[in-house]
Structure 1
Amino acid sequence: MIQSMTAFARESATTRQGTLTVELRSVNHRYLDCSFKLPDALRSLEPRLRDKASAALSRGKLDCMIRLQSHATQGGELEIDGDRLAALLVAAGRIQAQLENPAPVSALDVLQFPGIYSAPEEPEEQLREQALALFTDALASMQQNRQREGSKLAALVQDRLSQVAAAVVSTREILPALMQHQRDRIIARIADLKVEVDQGRLEQELVYLAQKADVDEELDRLVAHIDEVQRTLDKGGPCGRRLDFLMQELNREANTLSSKSQSASTTQSAVELKVLIEQMREQIQNIE
């Protein structure tokens, strides 16, 4: 299946430490380029995340951002350091004994002292496994988005390719009449001059002009390239580079057809071909 390189996915999950969010963004790129923005607790995951991305993608610039947003109030009881609390209360009592009219010390005042309590934390290994599973889900979601977008791109390319094929057929059909018109026009001009000409030499010149304006080879190569584009689309998979190369070949033949044109009809056909090829190329830039 043809895939686009442009996609986005986001997955979130709630952990004991807070809300874990994975965001993936991918855009077109010549090769696979992955960048990761991870919280400190998950930095050791990057090699495993990179391996998963490389196994799933072949091209594109992938930006991965993982955020861990702590809850305003996390569940679970606070763990009080009893020894530290006892030492703090003893010290506070000594200080109060030396003060005149000391202000009462509240429990909240005590909790503000560093090290008195700690919130229950998720084991780091468990958090890493949750993040890895969430990344896997986000990657699968992004793959689905890439496939949907890829199907749309393939349909657009297929539509333009059909128009290119039709333009080639119509150009080939009118060529004999155009060549005959060109021949008749030259003979009529010579007749208007009312001079004697060597008929053998005239025929040689007419043949030379016909060969110079002959575009059968260019049309044949256009057909061959069109068939190859169709086969590539039908095969699917990572084919963006192959299709881009074929667009260059199609454009080269369209340019040659334009340079050999001896009539407004073939010139118009060549211009139409180049427009359609460029439209295909723009879509192919996003195909993996």
Structure 2
Amino acid sequence: MLMSMTGFGRGESSDDTYNFTVEVKSLNHRYNDIIIKMPKHINYMEENINKMIRKRVRRGRVEVYIDLKYINDNNVNVNVDIPLATAYKEALENMRDNLNIDEDININHIIKMPEVVKTERKKDDENKIWSCLKEALDEALNNLINMRCKEGEQIFNDITKKTMNIKNMIEEIEKRAPIVVEEYREKLEKRVGELLKNQYELDENKLANEVVFFADKSSIDEEVVRLYSHVDQLFGCLNSNESVGRKLDFLIQEMNREINTIGSKSSDIAISRLVVDFKSELEKIREQIQNVE
């Protein structure tokens, strides 16, 4: 089933120590581009996160936002540099006395000084924290995929309908092509007759040669065959479980090339109108597949 490249998913997981909230947003992109924003002290998990996402999302820009809260935060050590604090206190007192400032030095002045108070987080249990994060990420990806599938189903229905319209147009063009040659013969014969004013005998061989030359020059058989082939491949892609966005884009380009050739070969008004309608419908499909994974 076709899948859209746009979607959003959210997941949350907790244990006795960690609480993870994960939000995943995907947008249109030519390749598989993953952007992860998370607390710096768990950056070592980025590779695992990337692998998990790439298994589920094959194309599109994926933005991941990870929030971590500690439920029982006993993993932080607070260290006070007493010698440094003492040095700051003495320096402040000296500055106060020299500047004749009538103010006492208190702890609030010292604690604001650089490097006096340092917090250091104890090393997390990597397996435990990954287990909690993985659960939240998995939930977020499931919700993301569900949204992408629902939108993909709508795109599938729309492209299928438009592709059937295109196939019907190809059939009309194919039926019209031999009629164009016959009409050309009749018009040519009539025109030559008018010019000769029936005073001279019409050379049937020369007339036939001219009609054959016109038929060969305006033949669109190859283009029609290729268009049918492209339509069949397009239907095949729509029903594939693979990532088909790029292939669909290529097929649309090739179909546009073939219909342009038909338009340039044919001088028939009916076929020209079909070519215009065909290109209009093809452009609508092209716009849709820009959002297909």
Q: TM-score range by the shorter chain?
A: 0.7 to 0.9
Q: Identity of counterpart residues, as a percentage?
A: 29
Judged with a 3 Å threshold, the aligned counterparts in structure 2 of structure 1 residues 225 and 80 are, in CA distance, closer, same or farther, namely: closer
Q: CA deviation at 1:203?
A: 1.4
Q: CA deviation at 1:41?
A: 2.8
Distance 2:259 2:7 in 1: 33
TM-score, length basis structure 2: 0.77
Mean alpha-carbon deviation: is it higher for 45-54 or for 58-67?
Answer: 58-67
Distance 1:202 1:162 in 2: 39
Partner of 2:241: 236
| Aligned CA-pair RMSD | 3.6
Partner of 1:146: 148
2:165 equivalent among 157, 163, 179: 163
Partner of 1:279: 284
The alignment of Structure 1 onto Structure 2 pairs a total of residues equal to 264
Distance 2:51 2:189 in 1: 72
Partner of 1:226: 231
Distance 1:9 1:122 in 2: 30
Q: Is the 8 A contact 1:26 1:63 kept in 2?
A: yes
Q: Say whether 1:65 aligns with 2:70.
A: no
Q: CA deviation at 1:17?
A: 7.2
Q: Is the 8 A contact 1:247 1:281 kept in 2?
A: yes
* 1:52-79 C-alpha deviation (Å, 9 max, x unpaired): 1122222111111112368xxx7789x9
Partner of 2:83: none
**Partner SS, residue 146 of structure 1:** helix
Q: CA deviation at 1:183?
A: 1.5
1:212 equivalent among 210, 217, 222: 217
Partner of 1:268: 273
Q: Is the 8 A contact 1:8 1:142 kept in 2?
A: yes
**Partner SS, residue 29 of structure 2:** coil
**Partner SS, residue 239 of structure 2:** helix
**Partner SS, residue 237 of structure 1:** coil
In structure 1, the gaps of 5 or more residues are: 82-108
Q: CA deviation at 1:256?
A: 0.8
**Partner SS, residue 235 of structure 1:** coil
Q: CA deviation at 1:159?
A: 0.7
Q: Say whether 1:245 aligns with 2:223.
A: no
* 1:222-276 C-alpha deviation (Å, 9 max, x unpaired): 1111111112222332111221111111111110111112211100111111111
Judged with a 3 Å threshold, the aligned counterparts in structure 2 of structure 1 residues 146 and 284 are, in CA distance, closer, same or farther, namely: same
**Structure 1: which 4+ aligned runs deviate by more than 4 Å?**
13-19, 74-77, 112-115, 120-124
In structure 2, the gaps of 5 or more residues are: 79-107
* 1:27-55 C-alpha deviation (Å, 9 max, x unpaired): 22222111111112321110110111122
Q: Is the 8 A contact 2:10 2:22 kept in 1?
A: yes
* 1:104-126 C-alpha deviation (Å, 9 max, x unpaired): xxxxx9xx9987xx9x9995544
Distance 2:161 2:73 in 1: 60
Distance 2:146 2:24 in 1: 13
**Correspondence 1:34-49 to 2 at 5 A:** 34-49=34-49
